[in-house]
Structure 1
C-alpha cells in the first residue's frame, strides 16, 4: 500500500509526512501509514509526470482529484492516455470533488470528457454530506419503520423544508465564492441530494444502481421552478455571536460591483404520484444566525372539530426534524394533553441524538465515503445523469440571476425578508434556525 501526493511545489517524501504529522501523530496506526507516503512533483498537464506516477503503481489504484475544478478533465485525460485507468491488473477508480461543473453545459462537457477515458463504474463524484450518519439514516428511518413510511406521501405531508445554514462568512474565499454563489455552491449538489433521499421511491434493493436510479428519478421530476418563488440575498454588515461582521461587498477579493448571492431560497415541486401538490422549500446561506443543516417534514393539520368545545383553538402540526449538523439526530414533534382539569394541549418532542446512543467520535463524512471507494460501493456517489439533472433544474435561475442584484440581509439574521414572505404566501413559516 502506498499514498502518493502529487503537486507542482518543491517538496519531498519527508516534508509531506511532516506536514501531516500534527494532524494524526498520536494515532497508533500513523507510523505504519507514514512510512508509505511518497511525494511526486509534477505538472498536471505534463505526460511525463504520469509516466513517473505509473512506475510507482501496481494492482489496485485510486486517484483522488483534490484539485482545482479546471484540472478535472485534464487529469482524467492524462490518466487515460497514460494507460493508468486500464483495469487489467486490478481496479482503477477516480474520485472527483465538487463542484462538478458550473452550469448545465459545463457539467455535460465534463461528463463527456471524463467518460471518454473511464467508465461510469470507475467514477466516484464525492459529496461529503452523504457520508454523514444522519443522511445515510434517512433511508433506514423511512423504509425500516412502517409508521413513518405509511404517512410519507401527499395525503399526510403538508410540506418539506431543507435548510443548510452557515454562520461563517466567505472569509478568505472571496475570489472563489464571487464566481460561484450560494445557488451553484449548494443547491444542485448538497440540497438536491437531501431532496432525493426524502422524495425517492423505495429501491428494489440496497444495491448502488437501484438506489441511484430512484434518486435520479426524483431530480428528473422537479417541475420547472417559478422565478417568483426563488429568492436570492446577500449579507450586509451585522453581528454573529456578538462579533461584528463586514458586508459581503467589503470582503477581500470580492468585486465591489458583484451580483453574487450569498443566500438562496426556493419553492419547488416534485411531480410524482407520491408528492404531487406537496411543496419543497430549500434554503441555504452564509453569515446567518447559526450553523444548522436540517430537514423538516411537516404533516397536515388535523381537523379541529373534535376540540371545538374545549379551550383548544389551534393544534400545532406534527413535524419530523432530521438534524444533520451540528448535532446529528432525529426529533418527532407531536401534541399531548396538558395536565389539568380541562382539555388543553401542548407540543412535545421525542428526541434521538446519535451521541447519546452510539460512540461515533468525530467524523466528517469522508471516512465512510473513502471506505466505500476502496470497497467499490457507489451507493453514496452520483452518476452523470443526476449531476446533469440538478444543473438542469437550476439553470433558468442561473441565467436570470446573471442580472439584477440580490436583496440584502443583516449578517447574523435568518436571511432576507423575501424568504419569509415566500413561506407566508401559503400561510407557512420556516422552522427556526438552531
Structure 2
C-alpha cells in the first residue's frame, strides 16, 4: 500500500452556489434573477422544480458552517447573488443583501474557514436580461459596479475572489444549446455573451487592482479533456475542436489575449463573428493571481461530418458513467492540469469544482452509503497528487458540492452533495463520502 501525502499548505474545501442552496427568493429585498424566470417557466426544469426554497441556506447557513467545520476544510467557496445586492441589477444597493453575506462571512471566519467568493454564478438580475443581458455591453458596466460594491464591503475579510463561474455555461450552454437560463439557441448570441463576460471579468480585475483590495483574484473555467479516437489527422482535428470549445476558447483570451485562430475560422464558416472592440483583448487578459478549474469529465472523439457543431462524434471506450451519464475519467484531470501548465505557464491552480452525481438512498439510521462517490473522489485525489508531484502548481481542491441542491435544469432529481438534503424537512445528513473526505483532510493524504 502506497502513502500519498499532500503539501501542508494544500487548501481543502468544498463549494456551493447561491441560487442552488439559498432559497428565500423574495426575502429582504432580493430581486428576481434569470433563474427565477427560467425555473418558473413550465417545461424548462425537470418536474418544474425551482430554487424558491432550495436548501434554505439563507436561514440555515449556521448549520452549514457547522458541517464545514466538522469536515475540517480550510476554505469554502460560495457565490454572492447579484439580485440580493442590486435587485434591479443597478441603482440602489440593498443593504439587507450585503448584511446576509456579512453574517455568512463572519460565521466562516469564526469557524476558522476562509471564504472564497464567486461574484457571478449564473443568477443575473432579470431586470438586466430584459435589456439584453450579457449580449448588451451595458451589463459589463453594471457588473463592475456590483463587483466594486462587494469588494469594498468585504475588503480584508474575503481574500480569494473569483469573477465568473464557467463562462462556457453562461454563454454556450445557456444561449446556444439553450439548456440553462435564459434558454436561447443562437450561436452568434452565445459567442457575443462569452466575449462580453470575459471583458467584464477583465474590467472587474482592473477595478480590484485600482481599489487595492487585499487578497487574490482569478476566474473559473470548466475544462474537459477530449482525446482523438485515433491518430488520423481528421480525428485529431475534430477532437481538438471539441476540446477547444471548452478550453482554449476561454483560456487563450484569459492568458494570451487572443482567440485560437482555427476556432475563429471555424465559427466564421458558420456565419459567426467575434465582435472585438478596441482594448477588449487587453482587458480580457488582465494578469490574474490564480485560475480556477472545474473538472468533471472528458472523452474520445473522432471525425464525423455533420456531427454536432464541430463534426466530432464521441466514442465510448468503456468508461464508467455517473448518474448524469458523464464519463468518469480521473486520468483526464491529470492530463488537463498538465496541459494548463504546459500551455499557460506556472499560474497557481485551484480545482474549484470536482464531484459526481449518483443515486443516493437515506437509510433508516440516517446514513447514505455512497460508495461510488467516495471512490470517485479517491481516484481524483490520486490524480491531484500525481500532478503536484509532477510540478504543476495545484494549490487546492474544492469538492462539488457540500449539499445536495437545486441542480439547475435537472431540478432536485440529481444529487452531487457530500451531505444529503431531505427536501421535505430540509434536514442535512452527511454521506459516507463526507466522512471519507474528512479523513483525508485530517490525515493530510490517503493510502492507495
> Same fold by TM-score, threshold 0.5 exceeded?
no
Give the TM-score normalised by structure 1: 0.28
Which structure's residues are more often strand, by fraction?
A: 1
Select the structure of larger CA radius of gyration. 1
Which structure's residues are more often helix, by fraction?
A: 2
Give the TM-score normalised by structure 2: 0.27
